Structures are given as C-alpha cells and as structure tokens.
Amino acid sequence: SSSAVKQVLKLIRRAFPFQSVMNHPKRVCLYNHLGLCPCPPMFDSPELKKEYRKNIRNVIRVLEGKSKTIIKELEVERDIASAREEYEIALEEQDRKSVV
C-alpha cells in the first residue's frame, strides 16, 4: 500500500538523508533544517557529494533487503570513529544503525 511505502521512506530518510524532488529549489529547505535533506548548496564540496552518493547507495541496498550488510558497515564506521575519539560521529552511526 502507498501508506506503507511512505512510512518506509520516512524511516529510511532519518538514517540516510536524500532529496525527494528532482528540481530542488536553490535555497535551503525545511527538511535540511531537520537534517533530512542535503540541499543543493550543500553539494559544493566533493566530500559532501561523496557522502550523498553513499547515502543513496545505502537507500537502494535497504530497499533490496540487504540491511544486514549495512548494519555491519555502520558498526565498523562507529568503531573507527570511537577509536579516533570522534564520539559525535560514532553516535550518529549508532543512531543510523538503530533505524535500519
């Protein structure tokens, strides 16, 4: 049903932010303020583009049913971030893992 699809996309967006419209306005939107959408001004950096592509790949993998591999990757990234003492990043990875 369409309501189930919308609910799944809403949950996925919390873990892996993505744009939901093709012609996004050139300004920052409400979803960006909520941390759910990387707006076009955010794509000026190659690092942010790389992170966005990774998010899209993860969204596709979740929809294909490969969530176990994503969870393992998020755990590895969390462990690396905590070893570097980047605890905020480790917490983000842990939160993403709980959503997937």
Cα-only R_g, the chain: 14
pLDDT digits (tens, 9 = 90+) for 9-60: 888 888 888 887 777 777 788 888 788 888 776 677 888 888 888 888 999 9
Asked if pLDDT for residue 99 goes beyond 80, the answer is: no
Beta carbons of 37 and 21 less than 8 angstroms apart? no
What is the distance in angstroms between the CA of the first residue and the CA of the last residue of the chain? 20
